[in-house]
Amino acid sequence: MEKQWLGLEEKVAIVTGAASGIGKHVAEVLKAVGATVVVADLTVETGEELAGMYCIKCNVADPDSVNAMAKTVIDRYGSIDILVNNAGLNRPRLLVDVKGERPEYELNVKDFDLMFNVNVKGLFLVAQACARQMIKQGKGVIVNMSSASGKEGSVGQSAYSATKGAVDSFTRSWGKEISPHGVRVVAVAPDIMEATGLRTPAYEEALAYTRGTTPDKLNTDYKKSIPIGRPGKLDEVGWTVAFLASDRAGYITGTTINVSGGKSRG
């Protein structure tokens, strides 16, 4: 295969949470530019293939599962060149349900722990397991999936926003810690994107309640709220990740790149 501009041929990439949503699009873009992509997801079975990508069942919040996943990749491919730390979840919840009508949409310990276990603890566990191998190799790139809400805050999503703020902080600190060992750490922060298929009616109902509206009124006139005038495309996140994972972005580390159409602050 003729080398492409990004030069990701022969690179081994792990994408967590890649069976659906943004992660699926990121994985497909990386595969399209020549990388060997491993789908690490709780919803797949180890050894099966998803669109030509090898799958490993992995619970990112479980250290044993994460370490076994990393070992499987190393044993099978000999290296880990790229990690896209994408697995995450969101439960729209209010700090206080002022109206008192839907107490299930008030932030509770169960929902708080779930979001932090996956979005923060899981991010740390997978990054650590892969960084150990990358440091041995003397090269590698970790791309963490953040969110504009981690910078801006978001009504009804305070815990989720806090987890993404942690992602940005991890990215800055790890960039300083391990870039001297040849491992870059960056993050991407999408804002309003096209539908992923993960926004279920239950999610829409919860989000609408926390924002004092109804599900049918959640969508807004994006030409007014987004300078570019439209939601982002999922593949646009994928292409941003592919660039950051390539040597073309070799001087970028310890920072978060907005993919927001100009809506979010840098």
What is the set of active-site residues? 160
Which position has the token pair 């990054």?
127
CB-based burial, 65-95: b 16+ in 10 Å, e otherwise: bbbbbbebbbeebebbbbbbbbbbbbbbbbe
Supply the DSSP symbol for 52.
Answer: T
Tell me the CA distances in angstroms from 203 to 25, 48, 82, 90, 240, one per residue in order.
21, 29, 31, 9, 27
Beta-carbon count within 10 A of 181 CB? 14
Q: Among candidates 126, 200, 109, which has minimal Cα distance to 170?
A: 126
> Rounded to whole angstroms, how far apart are CA atoms 88 and 265?
22
